[in-house]
């Protein structure tokens, strides 16, 4: 049986897996720095409610075709209508689903929505340099490296660089 991915808005009923994921050091290692401090149910609930009620950003839950339980979430934040740009993010918290190509698939789906639904011209992201799997997924989805932020992230008691990557509408149209 071939399992595929679909995206849909998150609801309050989808919060439960986040309690486990956000308390898993490996799952949050290269994610949003905020995740490092969200470790109580109350903290996670407050953050999660702000995410699902956020109409300024494009947030979607990531679901397997055979399940109503999310494996993560992704979207575009910091959207500028004036400049027609936004910042891509993805978090696959269910480590059982890592390494299956879902990151590339979801990235392509969100990029498509960014250009088709949100009418953006540029979608960028930042990624920790040691996060090789993510960099590969982003390149496979058409993102290009455009810069480096030196020692911009502190994990495992050391600093590492973050890469700035982007894809433009005219590059997306030809992929």
* pLDDT classification of 175: cutoffs 50, 70, 90: low
Specify the DSSP class assigned to residue 40: S
**Domain-wise residue ranges, the chain:** 5-172
Please write the tens of the pLDDT for every residue from 64-120.
988 899 999 999 999 999 999 999 999 999 999 999 999 999 999 999 999 999 999
Q: What is the CA radius of gyration of the chain?
A: 16
pLDDT at residue 1, as a whole number: 46
pLDDT at residue 97, as a whole number: 94
Instruction: Pick the closest to residue 15 from 57, 47, 39, 59 (CA basis).
Output: 47
CATH for 5-172 is 3.40.630.30
Question: Would you call 28 exposed, middle or buried from its count of C-beta atoms within 10 A (0-12, 13-18, 19+)?
Answer: buried
* 3 state SS of 16: helix
pLDDT at residue 8, as a whole number: 95
Using the predicted structure, report yes or no on whether residue 174 has a pLDDT greater than 70: no
pTM of the model as a whole: 0.92
- In this structure, the strands spanning 158-168 and 144-155 are antiparallel
Please write the tens of the pLDDT for every residue from 31-60.
888 888 888 999 999 999 999 998 889 999
Instruction: Pick the closest to residue 79 from 36, 122, 110, 48 (CA basis).
Output: 122
Q: Are 120 and 100 in contact (CB under 8 A)?
A: no
What is the token pair recorded at 73?
Answer: 């979430």
């Amino acid at each position: 049986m071939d399992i595929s991915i679909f995206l849909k808005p998150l609801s309050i009923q989808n919060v439960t897996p986040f309690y486990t994921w956000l308390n898993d050091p490996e799952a949050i290692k290269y994610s949003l720095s905020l995740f490092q401090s969200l470790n109580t149910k109350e903290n996670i609930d407050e953050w999660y409610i702000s995410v699902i009620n956020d109409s300024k950003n494009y947030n979607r839950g990531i679901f397997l075709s055979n399940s109503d339980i999310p494996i993560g979430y992704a979207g575009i934040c910091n959207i500028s209508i004036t400049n027609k740009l936004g910042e891509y993010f993805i978090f696959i918290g269910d480590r059982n689903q890592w390494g299956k190509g879902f990151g590339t698939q979801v990235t392509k789906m969100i990029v498509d929505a960014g250009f088709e639904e949100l009418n953006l011209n540029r979608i960028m992201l930042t990624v920790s340099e040691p996060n090789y799997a993510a960099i590969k997924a982003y390149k496979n989805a058409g993102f290009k490296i455009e810069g480096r932020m030196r020692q911009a992230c502190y994990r495992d008691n050391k600093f590492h660089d973050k890469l700035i990557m982007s894809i433009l509408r005219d590059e997306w149209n030809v992929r």
